[in-house]
Every structure is written in C-alpha cells, then in structure tokens.
Amino acid sequence: MIDAGIVVDDKGELWTDDAPELGRRLGRSDFGSPWAVGVVRDHGFIHIRRSSDGVRITLRLGRFSLAALVGTIQAVYDLHPPSIIAHLLTDSGSAYERFATVAEFVAYVEGLADDWTPSAKLSRIVITRDLRGLTHPSFEAAQEVFALWKERHGELSPELHRTLIVEAQRRWIVLLRRPVGSRHLLVEHFSAPIAAMRPCQALSLFGHHMEDMPDGDFGHWVARGYAQTLLAEAPRFESVLADIHTPDDKTIRSRYDRLILPWRSRGDGFVLSVPLVRKRTIISE
C-alpha cells in the first residue's frame, strides 16, 4: 500500500492514493499521488508517502480531523519510520518540519485539528489496527501479554491469573470476569490511573460492572467492546481517542492504544485489556 502512498480521509479510513473508489468518491478521474496535495488542501485529508529517509506526511493545519490524525498515527506506527517529514499547508503557503518520532509529530499537530474543541464533548474515535503492529517497541507491555495468550491458547490458569494481578503494578491492565451462566462482566482488576481515579475509587469497582465507574457513559462504551471481544473469541488491537470524566469533575482527553484479549478459565470467561496511554490533556475542570 505505501508504495502508492496512503490517503487518510476525514473518518480515519486508509486508502491507496491510486484507489479508483476514492477517485470516484471525490469526483476525480486523475487520482494518484500528483493530486494528493489538492485533496489535502481541499478536503482536509492527510497524505502519507514513504521517502528515502522515513515518511513524508502532508496535511493542512486547521483543516484535518482528529479521526484522520488517529488513522495517520496507525499507518505511520506500522511503517516504523526512522524519521518524519511533515509538509504543513496553511492558507498562506506551506512549510516543512522534521520529527524524530511519531510522538513528536503528534504533539506538534494534535491541537491544530479542525475539530479539536476543548469545550465540547468528543465523540469517541476508534481505529482498528493490525496485530502485526504490536512488534513496534512502543507496544512492549502488550507484546508480553499477547505472547502469553498465544502460548496458553487463551486458557487462564489460576497461577497466571495471580501473576497478571501481581504484575499489574508495572503494566496497567483491566481484567473482567463473566461467571459461567451469566451475561454480565464483573471487574476483577482495574488499574486506577487508566481512568484518572484514586486507588480507593478503583478498588470500589472490584466485583462490580464497568458501568459503575464514575464516568458511567464511558464505562458502558468500554464494557460493550469487552463483551464483543469475548463473544468473538478473538483479540482486538485499537487506537482510541476519547474524553473521560473524572471523579473530581474534570474532563480528560485521552489518546491511547489498547490490546483486548479473551480468556477462559473453568467455564468462566475473562477479558484482559492492556491500555497504553500516549497523551492526556485536561480540557475542562
């Protein structure tokens, strides 16, 4: 895909820049890299192309969407570039900036998205990622758990259960259990920093539903994803951008990746999530 270049649309979906479907959608027959800058400027899409020293990302400041940025993060992480050249378009011209890492690039442009609205509640953005992306060094904590899941074929022994809880001090996890014969997921472990809670608040969730967390709306949404993973009996790897309401009445905008794994043990179903927080911003208090 990358040899032809990638166009990330306003929904975060990835297209080759020579995709006929994209050309028809935009009413253009001359699709391909030569018109990529025009699409970026006119539609707020983002264009990615591999270069000799990394990748080149073209975007229009103040025009691209947060969903497009999340999709771009996904694509660039999967390419493992040694560096990033950002071609930044503005109303008055353009400029180039070099970044050593994806994190540096995102920190620079994140607040310049068209729909970055700190005063408004953000609709959650979820981009599904290829599990092969877990090989990137930034996913080391998730790699270890994924390797265990594959080695054990999803079977959660009592010994491994205890180990995961003990090791939760060095990696943030969420572990839920669905008792045999039940449709409900109950919290077995919840690392407090994930939802910006105090340890005592996280402890109060144990044995309860995710919906009982301080931000009940966020809890409902998270629980649905966990239930779907358990039903599908397959892992999920995603990039997420979401607002979380904290117990002390703050709203935090959190960008994170998460690996969700289904497990089973003695008839019970388990779901383990390893969230990797990339950035948090307090947008209201």
pLDDT at 243 over 50: yes
Identify the CA nearest to 124 among candidates 15, 228, 244: 244
Q: What is the four-CA torsion angle of 65, 69, 70, 71, rounded to 10 degrees?
A: 100
**Tokens, residue 168:** 């939760």
Closest C-alpha among 62, 82, 84 to residue 72: 84
pLDDT > 70 in the chain, percent: 87
Instruction: State the Rg of the chain over Cα.
Output: 20
Residue 171, class by beta-carbon neighbours within 10 Å (0-12 exposed, 13-18 middle, 19+ buried)? middle
Q: What is the pLDDT of residue 2?
A: 44
State the span(s) of the chain assigned CATH 3.30.450.20.
Answer: 125-284
Continuous segment of H or E residues that includes residue 28: none
pLDDT band per the 50, 70, 90 thresholds, residue 32? low
pLDDT in tens, 116-146: 555 555 567 787 888 988 888 888 889 989 9
d(CA 46, CA 284): 29
- List, as one string, the DSSP characters of 45-104: -EEEEEETTEEEEEEETTTS-HHHHHHHHHHHHHH--S-EEEEEEETTEEEEEEESSHHH
Q: What is the pLDDT of residue 252?
A: 84
Query: How many whole angstroms separate alpha carbon 262 and alpha carbon 233?
Result: 6
Burial letters 137-167, b for 16+ CB under 10 A, else e: ebbebbbebbebbeeeebebeeebbeebeee
List of residues 6+ apart from 54 with CB closer than 8 A: 81, 82, 83, 84, 85
d(CA 49, CA 285): 40
What does the mean pLDDT of the chain come to? 83
Q: What token pair was written down for 196?
A: 């910006």
- For domain 125-284, the question of CATH label 3.30.450.20 is answered with yes
pLDDT at position 28 is 64
| Mean local confidence (pLDDT), 92-112 | 83
- Other beta carbons within 10 angstroms of residue 33's beta carbon come to 14
pLDDT: which is higher, 252 or 32: 252
